[in-house]
Amino acid sequence: MLPAQSIAQTAATMTEAEALEKQQQQQQQQQHQHQKSGSGGVDDAFDHTYKEKEGPKPPVVIVWKNVVLMTLLHLGALYGVFLLPSASPLTLLWSLLCFVMSALGVTAGAHRLWSHRSYKASLPLRIFLGVANSMAFQNDIFEWARDHRVHHKYSETDADPHNAVRGFFFSHIGWLLVRKHPDVIEKGRKLELNDLRADKVVMFQRKYYKPSVLLMCFFVPMFVPWYLWGETLWVAYYVPALLRYTLVLNATWLVNSAAHMWGNRPYDKTINPRENKFVTFSAIGEGFHNYHHTFPYDYATSEFGCKLNLTTCFIDFMCFLGLAKDRKKVSHELVLSRIQRTGDGSHRSG
């Protein structure tokens, strides 16, 4: 060990930015230790030690069933757009409600709660988010969170499920139309996911995922307007069910594609994720992506609170009701330090 005097000299010469950065690294190390001990932390920090394998890339294997299903889905959604003038105002309002609910199942649920453990949710709230997530139909919570942790840990590499380096189409939808890269599968298997396995809501949804999707993503959105105010089954299926589902899918996919390509990088110019206002709006708060990849454990995914961030407003309201607690937030000092050290100079205070 160094003598006490030497330690004091080292501390005296350390800049404030370096000290804050060291504090962040220590926080991430503590999260890793919590993950290993099963106390609720997650392994979502970028792994700088990962190196892509040399040699030719493995062949791309197209999953034609997925290609056909996604094509039919988007054709059905396009038809739903033409049916919008035929839908009653109540049906349009119901479609919007279903959009927000299913989006929250992804943003407040699978993403901020289960992928990053950035806040704690009570059992009633976890049940609601699990149901809302089934309405979104984007793989079950366990698989979604696992893949998202791999995405953060190996972002923009072969081990990233939707590696944006492979282009807009691949990172948006193409990654769902082909077999996963072997490194994605390998790294996903090595992640410790005990926190997800210990969550009864997550495992219940995983066990009954297919019937829950049929019920929440398609039947309920269609049945309610048909039964309660006499909407035609045709419109009820194509607008609040099919069109709404497709819009939520693409809003989520834009986080993987557009928010990794277009926008400013005020927090870390060395990474691809960007601040993209269009994605922020369409994905109810998920477009502050440069901030999120810099500080993945921040529950708000932004330094600006509820501004353009419906998901953060929802989590704050759940805390007000006593249904959520322990929101993790990065200190203002640490954010400013990171902006000065690695930002691209585009930062604004609000």
DSSP string computed for 303-332: SSTTTT-HHHHHHHHHHHTTSEE------H
349, pLDDT greater than 90: no
DSSP string computed for 216-268: IIIIHHHHHHHHHH---HHHHIIIIIIIHHHHHHHHHHHHHTGGGTSSB-SS-
d(CA 183, CA 283): 28
Q: What is the pLDDT of residue 19?
A: 53
Residues 6+ positions from 257 with CB-CB distance below 8 Å? 162, 164, 168, 171, 172
Chain segment 278-318, per-residue pLDDT in tens: 999 999 999 999 999 999 999 999 999 999 999 999 999 99
Q: What is the pLDDT of residue 53?
A: 86
**Chain position carrying tokens 């790294």:** 187
Residue % of the chain over a pLDDT of 90: 83
pLDDT confidence of 10, banded at 50, 70, 90?
very low
5, pLDDT greater than 70: no
pLDDT confidence of 235, banded at 50, 70, 90?
very high
140, pLDDT greater than 90: yes
243, pLDDT greater than 90: yes
DSSP tally for the chain: helices H, then strands E: 18, 2
25, pLDDT greater than 70: no
CB-CB contact of 163 with 116 (8 Å): no
* Token output for 152: 């953060």
* Token output for 291: 């901030």
206, pLDDT greater than 70: yes
Q: What is the pLDDT of residue 52?
A: 86
Q: What is the pLDDT of residue 23?
A: 55
54, pLDDT greater than 50: yes
**Chain position carrying tokens 């290609």:** 67
Q: What angle do CA 170, 174, 178 make, to 5 degrees?
A: 120
Three-state DSSP class for 106? helix
d(CA 171, CA 164): 5
222, pLDDT greater than 70: yes
Residue range 319-347: average pLDDT? 97
Of 9 and 178, the structure prediction assigns the larger pLDDT to: 178
d(CA 294, CA 281): 20
* Token output for 169: 């189409």
Residue ranges per structural domain of the chain = 59-263
Q: What is the pLDDT of residue 11?
A: 42
Chain segment 168-194, per-residue pLDDT in tens: 999 999 999 999 999 999 999 999 999
* Residue-averaged pLDDT of the chain: 91
Within a 10 A sphere around the Cβ of 165, how many other Cβ atoms? 13
232, amino acid identity = T
Chain segment 101-121, per-residue pLDDT in tens: 999 999 999 999 999 999 999
Residue range 142-168: average pLDDT? 97
Partnered with residue 288 across adjacent β-strands are: 275
d(CA 195, CA 291): 25
Three-state DSSP class for 213? helix
Within a 10 A sphere around the Cβ of 85, how many other Cβ atoms? 6
d(CA 243, CA 21): 45
**Which residue, among 165, 110, 169, has the nearest Cα to 136 in the 3D structure?**
110
